[in-house]
């Protein structure tokens, strides 16, 4: 399929460059935004906590990557109901509405996966439906936490619920649990998207640290959805350390992969 460099270039453009650390502050988010200005183009988005949306927006505007008169070159994604996936629909909806009001282009909401494990499917339906409404015309990505669901049947059931209730993307993981994105879970989500017939994207998050890792996911998606589907409108990687690995691949350098959750 794709050469490694071609895959690295694709993956860079599909990245949600992520910082979701407990010690994040304005300075770390400004530094994250500055990393988006690479010799090989910018990632699709930054993904940050809601408290830093305004900081990221200002920094990216100063860099000429937002409010340029064309579609935003770097979008702002944030997280809600994160990371535990609680069943409080009102709170998740309120957080999502506030994130949109603050300027988020995309919201990654955690599905109530613990309730799903315990046999409660209605909480998931209610929460995704409410957050879909709260998002308005912004992109809604639903984090299924596949590494905690574990059972392929449960993963597919959660995916189908999210699709039925208006998700724009299915996302594997928060990056905050022991098992995050896997190719096995990705195949289940991509197959659910294909079977739905809806124009929905896929995001792999957590543990993707090398160009080889990224290429494996791109190859899998191409096999299920077709090469033409592989655009930032349909495919994202949630990652941080991956960016340096991709840039090294594109410039023929050798660096050690990152070891953090993203």
Active-site residue list = 108, 171, 203
Q: What is the CA radius of gyration of the chain?
A: 17
CA-CA distances (angstroms) from residue 186 to 93, 155, 182, 262?
26, 10, 6, 16
Residue carrying structure tokens 């022991």 = 178
Dist CA 233 CA 229 (whole Å): 9
Dist CA 29 CA 58 (whole Å): 11
Q: Torsion angle of alpha carbons 183, 189, 194, 199, nearest 10°?
A: -120
Q: Torsion angle of alpha carbons 86, 21, 144, 198, nearest 10°?
A: 120
CB count in 10 Å sphere of residue 217:
25
């Amino acid at each position: 399929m794709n050469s490694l460099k071609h895959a690295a270039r694709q993956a860079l453009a599909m990245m949600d460059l992520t910082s979701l650390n407990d010690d994040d502050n304005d300075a770390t988010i400004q530094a994250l935004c500055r990393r988006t200005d690479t010799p090989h183009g910018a990632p699709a988005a930054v993904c940050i906590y809601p408290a830093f949306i305004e900081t990221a927006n200002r920094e990216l505007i100063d860099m000429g990557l937002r409010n340029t008169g064309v579609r935003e070159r770097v979008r702002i994604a944030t997280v809600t109901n994160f990371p535990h996936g609680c069943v409080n629909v009102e709170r998740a909806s309120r957080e999502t509405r506030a994130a949109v009001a603050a300027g988020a282009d995309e919201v990654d909401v955690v599905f109530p996966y613990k309730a799903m494990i315990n046999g409660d499917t209605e909480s998931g339906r209610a929460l995704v439906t409410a957050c879909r409404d709260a998002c308005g015309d912004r992109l809604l990505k639903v984090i299924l936490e596949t590494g905690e669901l574990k059972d392929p049947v449960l993963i597919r059931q959660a995916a189908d619920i999210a699709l039925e209730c208006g998700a724009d993307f299915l996302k594997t993981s928060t990056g905050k649990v022991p098992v995050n994105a896997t190719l096995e879970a990705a195949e289940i989500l991509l197959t659910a998207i294909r079977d739905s017939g809806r124009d929905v994207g896929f995001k792999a998050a957590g543990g993707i640290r090398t160009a080889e890792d990224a290429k494996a996911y791109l190859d899998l998606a191409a096999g299920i959805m077709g090469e033409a589907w592989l655009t930032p409108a349909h495919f994202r990687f949630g990652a941080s350390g991956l960016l340096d690995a991709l840039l090294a691949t594109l410039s023929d350098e050798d660096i050690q992969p990152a070891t953090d959750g993203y």
